[in-house]
Each structure stands twice: as structure tokens, then as C-alpha cells.
């Protein structure tokens, strides 16, 4: 019996019982079941009331946007083929929600820019807050989307699944796509960050995926002159070598994504000698690649294009890292949409200079805090 139908019957039963005290006896004559029916009705009405209150508007919109394959898109495209970023804070009309659901078979689900991992984490929290099992089921479907998208041949993840042609098919560390997936799977294995509520059948699958992902990370760490360094934002699925993406994202040692990779590797219990070597080598590369005495800041004033710009500013106390380093020389470089490498960020066009994270402090916390704690916990002796 449907919940709505059952509730209607319960309401009818109570109403008739109040109007006609003999109704219960007449309605259930010879059955002696009215106490059971009364209890059932009370439970149904209470459940209906709780369910009506157990909604999170953001989570509800996430259910609308979820694709049939289990993941979520980053953009939707309008009739003019203009990409509109998904915004869960924006209310949807019934017509808009229906149109999005009608396109649920679209192959635009992605792991890029926290897509899918963001929704899974939010839905799990919403489930724990509201008890609404729809949120849990949607999150578990998203987790299966992560598991299904892992390459069987190398243990990495593409940017999109189903896989798209071109650079999105590469093993994608860019914007932490692969690491965000692995962090969720590791949380399932460890039953941390609310993942203890996930279906237990997903634990073994997640453990296997994590193990394969770690092996992929170890195999893709770039060696220069026989020495392990860091990782590229993308790696070829066959050769595992650094690979190009967009024109302004050529193959290079990448400090931002490498910091996220090392942070994830440090979560592994009882690290093998290879894992220890990978982490310590990457940390040595971070140390050797730091840029002291400058900060990358937004400056304003009438002398700048559009009255603002992003420039290097002298700061005796600052330490930063460039986003990209030449693999052969470890020299920082910057690339505009023309694909030409330049030594200074000021030499690329204004739009790219202001539209990309060319410098940052991504490895700083690793060097200052996380790495010393990890070494102490694992009794790692620095033999440098």
C-alpha cells in the first residue's frame, strides 16, 4: 500500500471513529484488530510528518542535477551553447527542474573542480542531519560512479566519465580531480568524515580502488636525472608520462596538484618503502622549488588595465611556489592561450594573468606541519 493511500485511510478511520463511536466495532467486527490498526495509523502519520520536514533545499537540487550514470555536471549549456555553472543556491522552478531531469542521460558528469565529490559529501551530511534516505541513496550512486570511472589498466581517473576524447581522457590530477575521488574512497575505508553510514558492501570495493590509485600515483611520479620529483597535472593513460592539456597547461611539474597528492599519500597506514620514498622525494622537491621574497597579489589603480592587475610584489617574509616548473630545468614558466612558454607572468596576456592561479602557497602547510608529524608517526629518519 502506498504511504499516501495508507495515510488517507488512517485519516478516514480516525474521522469516522470520532463521528460515530460504533464505527470501530462495525468496521472491524469479529477481527479484534483495531488496536493494531490504530498503532499503525499513528506510526504512519508521524512518519509522514517527519518526512515532510526532513528536506534540505540544496540537497534536493542536487538530486535534480544528478545524472543517470551517478555523477554530476559542472556546467549546463543553454540554447546558445553557453556554459552556465551549476549553482545549487539558485532556486529552480518546476519547469526548470523537469528540464534538467529530462536531460539526465547527458554524458557531462565529471570529477573536475570538486564536481561529484562535493555533492557526495554534502548529501551524506544532509542525510545525517535530516534522515532522508534519498540523499544517502544518491550519494552511494555517486560513489559507484567514482568506482566505475577508475581506469582498470592504470588505476587513474579521467576528467570526465564516460571518457571524452582529447586531454580529458588523461589521468587527471588537475584541480585535484583524482585525489578528491581517492579521499572519498579512503574515508569509506576508514569510516571517517561521515562515511560510516555508507553501504558496507562499498568498503572492499573502495579499498581495492584506493590501492590501485596509490600504485598509479607511484608510477606517475616524474623522475629527472634518476631522481623522483613531483607530478604533472595530467599523465598519459598508456605511457604514464606527463601530458599536455589546454594551451596554457602544457606538461610540467605542478606544485599545486602535487601538494594534494602528497597530502593524500600521507594518509596511508604502514607506508611501504616505495611510498616513503615518494613522499620524501616530493617534499625535497617542494623545498628546492620555493620562491622567497615575493607575493602574488592583486593591485589596483588607474595605471592598470581595468584598474587592477595580478603582479609579483616584493615581500621579504613571503614564500610562494609557481604553478608550473619545467621538467628538465625546474625553472618556473607561464603560458598564455598562445601556448608559448614565458619566464615572467607579466609577459602573458591580461586575461590569463588574472584568470589562473599562477602562484600559491600550496605546499607550505605540508612543510611546516604535516611532514614533520608524518615522519614522527612513521619513525622516518631524514638521511639527507
Active site residues: 113, 246
List the grid coordinates of 356: 589562473
Rg for the chain, CA atoms, rounded: 27
Neighbours of 136 (CB within 10 A): 18
Sign of torsion over alpha carbons 73, 79, 80, 85? negative
CA dist., res. 187 & res. 180, Å (int): 11
User: What do you get for the CA distance between the two ends of the chain, in Å?
Assistant: 71
CA dist., res. 279 & res. 214, Å (int): 12
CA dist., res. 69 & res. 105, Å (int): 7
CA dist., res. 290 & res. 59, Å (int): 41
Concatenated DSSP letters of 152-188 = TTTS---SBSSPPSSGGGSEE-GGGHHHHHHHHHHHH
Cβ(138)–Cβ(66) under 8 Å?
yes
Residues near 116 by beta carbon (within 8 Å), at least 6 away in sequence: 71, 72, 109, 110, 142, 145, 146, 181
CA dist., res. 310 & res. 359, Å (int): 10
3-state helix, strand, coil in the chain (%, to 5): 50, 15, 35
Cβ(63)–Cβ(134) under 8 Å?
yes
Amino acid at each position: 500500500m502506498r504511504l499516501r493511500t495508507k495515510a488517507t485511510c488512517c485519516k478516514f478511520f480516525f474521522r469516522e471513529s470520532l463521528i460515530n463511536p460504533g464505527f470501530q466495532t462495525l468496521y472491524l467486527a469479529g477481527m479484534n484488530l483495531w488496536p493494531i490498526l490504530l498503532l499503525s495509523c499513528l506510526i504512519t502519520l508521524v512518519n509522514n510528518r517527519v518526512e515532510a520536514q526532513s528536506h534540505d533545499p540544496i540537497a534536493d537540487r542536487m538530486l535534480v542535477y544528478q545524472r543517470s550514470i551517478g555523477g554530476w555536471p559542472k556546467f549546463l549549456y543553454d540554447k546558445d551553447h553557453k556554459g552556465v555553472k551549476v549553482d545549487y543556491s539558485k532556486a529552480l522552478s518546476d519547469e526548470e527542474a523537469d528540464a534538467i531531469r529530462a536531460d539526465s542521460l547527458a554524458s557531462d558528469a565529471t570529477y573536475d573542480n570538486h564536481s561529484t565529490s562535493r555533492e557526495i559529501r554534502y548529501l551524506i551530511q544532509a542525510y545525517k542531519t535530516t534522515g532522508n534516505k534519498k540523499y544517502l541513496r544518491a550519494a552511494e550512486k555517486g560513489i559507484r560512479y567514482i568506482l566505475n570511472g577508475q581506469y582498470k589498466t592504470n588505476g587513474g581517473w579521467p576528467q570526465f566519465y564516460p571518457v571524452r576524447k582529447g586531454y580529458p581522457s588523461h589521468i587527471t590530477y588537475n584541480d585535484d580531480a583524482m585525489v578528491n575521488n581517492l579521499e572519498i574512497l579512503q574515508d569509506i575505508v576508514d569510516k571517517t568524515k561521515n562515511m560510516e553510514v555508507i553501504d558496507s558492501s562499498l568498503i572492499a570495493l573502495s579499498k581495492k580502488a584506493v590501492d590501485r590509485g596509490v600504485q598509479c600515483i607511484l608510477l606517475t611520479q616524474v623522475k629527472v636525472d634518476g631522481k623522483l620529483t613531483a607530478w604533472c597535472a595530467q599523465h598519459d593513460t598508456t605511457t604514464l608520462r606527463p601530458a599536455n592539456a589546454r594551451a596554457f597547461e602544457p606538461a610540467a611539474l605542478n606544485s599545486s596538484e602535487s601538494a594534494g597528492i602528497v597530502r593524500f599519500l600521507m594518509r596511508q597506514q604502514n607506508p611501504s618503502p616505495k611510498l616513503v620514498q615518494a613522499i620524501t622525494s616530493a617534499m625535497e622537491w617542494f623545498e628546492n622549488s620555493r620562491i622567497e621574497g615575493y607575493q602574488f597579489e592583486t593591485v589596483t589603480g588607474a595605471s592598470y588595465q581595468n584598474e587592477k592587475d595580478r603582479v609579483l610584489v616584493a615581500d621579504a617574509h613571503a614564500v610562494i611556489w609557481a604553478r608550473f616548473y619545467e621538467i628538465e630545468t625546474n625553472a618556473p614558466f607561464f603560458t598564455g592561450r598562445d601556448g608559448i612558454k614565458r619566464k615572467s607572468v607579466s609577459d602573458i596576456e591580461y586575461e590569463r594573468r588574472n584568470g589562473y592561479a599562477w602562484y600559491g602557497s600550496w605546499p607550505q602547510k605540508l612543510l611546516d606541519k604535516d611532514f614533520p608529524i608524518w615522519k614522527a608517526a612513521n619513525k622516518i629518519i631524514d638521511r639527507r
